[in-house]
Every structure is written in structure tokens, then in C-alpha cells.
Amino acid sequence: MKIQSIRGFNDILPEKIKRWHRIEERARTIFELYGFSEIRIPVIEFTDIFARSLGTTTDIVEKEMYTFTDRDGSSITLRPEGTAGVVRAFIEHSMYAQSPITKLYYSGMMFRHERPQKGRYRGFYQIGAELFGSKEPLADAEVIIMLWRFFEAIGIAPYLKLEISSLGDENCRPAYKQKLVEFFMPSRNQLCEDCRRRLEVNPLRILDCKKESCKQIAQDAPSMLDNLCSECREHFESVKNTLTSLGALFVSNPRIVRGLDYYTRTVFEVTTEELGAQNTVGAGGRYDHLVEELEGPPTPAVGFAVGMERIILLHEKKFPEGFQKEVDTFIAHLGSEAKKTAFLLAYELRKNGVFTEMDYENKSLKSQLKRADKLGVKYTIIIGEEELSRGKVKVRDMRKSTEDEMNLEDVKKLAIKFRI
């Protein structure tokens, strides 16, 4: 037997890991800015947790799960996604009793038995976030904007499209489903086998079918957005208005169905045209009844998950050189007193979270500025003996090529806590 990894499971080698670290770091920084804390959940749960959360007629539960019988006879499953486990933990640890709002994020490997291809694997990484406890449109908007800030912070936002829709709720969705059944019934025999079954059990799923012939038929299907009840319509409008007020660019796409049954109202997807067939880098939405369905107290919630491999593929394509080395400031110095001051100042600035470099030798100002330029720093702090005797230093804006004199004590207090 050849020694090799299981099909669809990849190694991430050291030469690639830096990019993963940087991207994960920025996700953490941004999510924490928005008040989310990490939760680490097991990679395996009772099968029931997934079947009940995702819905038994979804692709994942029907054909993609890695399910085993444990030694004691119980059915257990490698997690195909993160939300079900997070909700299970949220209920199990009574987090709802500790705070009206709970914000959690997770990151880790997911397992789905799919046909492996570029951007689609059997073991893959997701980062996701969940906000529990608010049904307000502000919560939906906040989660979406946070995700968008993450994409901006790693530089890929210009290559992404944000699409949003609403799936309605228990008031308006049943009637819409009925409309879909009526719409598809006459073309029943032209639908694929899966969709014929979906017509009976879950007609919404037909809108998500990847088969060309089904897509054709579905083209003129009634849209959920035209069939929302007034509460759902208002909610959707409010999410969109809030996003617009933050300057977010998005398009309404009533075709978004999502592969999981637990969504209500807002759903969204982030796609790219850069990766071929595997074009969705992340997706999410609101799920107001899932906590209840897993026997927790009624708790509205909204969240998302992004696929790390697809983000990495896109980032590699757009930034083949990786992340630029990050240096905010370079400290140039002239004379031995200035050099000592420079060393202390570098210490202070790094303590404040400012990425700082300096010259350890006694090079000429010209050669120090050359190095600062090469590092691509935003500011060079120049410490000369004369200015120092007055407690001052020069701060040179490298982009604008302008110089200002500042008090050394003020410069020491400069802080960049988050580079995003």
C-alpha cells in the first residue's frame, strides 16, 4: 500500500503557512473588535445534532456526512459545519442565561464527503461567527459588515461580491413553498431525480440545484422576495438600509437559498469570479429557531462561515508575494546620544503595538532613509542631537515627503493597536 493521505484531505506545508497565520490573525483581531470571543468545539458530535440542525433533506445530511458507529453503538459524525456544534454548546452551557447577547467565533476543520476538486475538499477549514440573542436588523448588518471588514483587511474585498436575500419566516414561507410546488408541478418530469424528490419534501431546495436543466426550469420560479410578509419585508429593508448607511455595496439576489434548512429571513453569500466553479467564499444568515429546535430557549441568531481554502486561493492569486512585511516606522538617528534614545523609543513604540525598525550601526542619514524607504514604512522618525537637546524629533511622512517636528514624549505615546 502506498503511503499517502486520504483523498480530499490536504497537508498545509510550512512554506504556505505564513499566509494562513496572517489571515487567521486578522479575522481574530476584527472579530474581537466587534465583541466576539472564540469558542472551541469538538470536531465530532452525535449525528442527531447535525440531522436536526441542518435538516434531513439537505445535501450535507443526505450524502456528505462522515458518520460512524461508536464502540457503544451510538451514531457520531465528524462536523460538516460549525453552527450546529456552537448552538449545542450555547445551550449545554446555558450561555443564554449569562448575557442577553452572546457573540462567538470559531475556526477549524470541517468534513464533507464531496467530490474533491480545486477549492472543494473533504477536509477543509472554516472560520465562522455567530451572534445570539437579537432579532434586530442591526445584528444582521453588524455581522455582515464585520465579515466585510475582514475581507478588506486582507485585501480581497475588491474581488468579492456580496449578495443578500430573505427567506421569510414561518408566516410567509409555507405559502411561498406551496407556490413553488404549483410552479414546478407541470414540469415535474423534466426535473432531475433529486429535484423530483425535493418537490415533495423541500421545494426550496430545487432553486439551489446545480444541474443546468433544473436551473433553466427554475429561472421563472416565483421569488421569495415578492412573497414576504410585511414583518419580513420590513426586516429585510432595514438590514439593507443599515448596510447602505455604512457604505456597503451589495446586490439583492432572490435566488439565494443556502444549503441548510435552519435559515430564516436574512441570508447572504460572498462570491468571486476569480476561482472558477468554486465561487462562494463565505455565506451565512439568520436562524431564529435553531436554538429552540435543539431544545434551548427561543433565541434569535445570525452568523456566517467562510471557507479558508478558497480565501487562500484568491489571496494567492491576487497577492502572489504574500503579505508585505509590516513596519510602520523607522527610527533614524545621528550621534551616540540619539542612538540610545532611538533604541528606547523603538522599545516604547513596539510596546504600543507600532511595528518599528531602526538602524543598529552608525550609518549616514542618507543610507538610513534608504533603508526606511525599502521597508515601505509610513513614517521615519529622525533623531538628531540638536533637536534632542530641545526634547524634539523630526517625523517624516514618507508618502507625502513632508517633515514635522514633534515632542519626543508625544512620539513615545503613539500607538496603533489594530493594524486594520
Contact residues for ligand ATP, defined by CB under 6 A: 81, 112, 114, 119-121, 124, 126, 259, 278, 280-283, 305-307, 309-310
Please report how many Cα atoms fall inside a 13 Å half-sphere around the Cα of residue 153, on the Cβ side: 20
Nearer to ligand ATP, 26 or 112 (CB): 112
CB of 299 to ligand ATP, least distance (A): 21
Contact 396, 402 (CB under 8 A): yes
- Closest to ligand ATP by CB, 167 or 395: 167
- In the bound complex, what is the minimum distance in angstroms from residue 338's beta carbon to ligand ATP? 52
The CB-nearest residue to ligand ATP is 307
Which of 261, 359 has the CB closer to ligand ATP?
A: 261
Instruction: State how far the Cα of 374 lies from the Cα of 362, in Å rounded to an integer.
Output: 18
Nearest approach, Cβ of residue 253 and ligand ATP (Å): 14
Sort strands 301-307 and 280-286 into parallel, antiparallel or unpaired.
antiparallel
Residue 102: strand pairing partners: 132
DSSP-derived secondary structure letter, 166: E
CB contact at 8 A, 345 and 411: yes
Name the 3-class secondary structure at 124: strand
Exposed, middle or buried, 25 (CB in 10 Å: 0-12/13-18/19+)? Answer: middle
- Least gap, CB of 266 to ligand ATP (angstroms): 14
Question: 45 or 357, CB closer to ligand ATP?
Answer: 45
Pair 303, 287: CB distance under 8 Å:
yes
Give min distance, CB of 363 to ligand ATP, in A.
48
Identify which of 152, 162, 305, 128 has the alpha carbon closest to the alpha carbon of residue 243: 162
Smallest distance, ligand ATP to C-beta of residue 245, A:
26
Please measure the distance between the N-terminal and C-terminal CA atoms of the chain and give it in whole angstroms: 49
Contact 218, 183 (CB under 8 A): no
b/e burial code for range 397-408 (CB count within 10 A of at least 16 → b) = ebeeeeeeeeeb
Nearer to ligand ATP by C-beta: 105 or 379?
105
> From the CB of 293, what's the least distance to ligand ATP, in Å?
18
- 217 versus 283: smaller Cβ distance to ligand ATP: 283
Q: Which of these, 89, 65, 88, 62, lies nearest to 77 by C-alpha position? A: 65
Q: Which of 54/381 has CB closer to ligand ATP?
A: 54
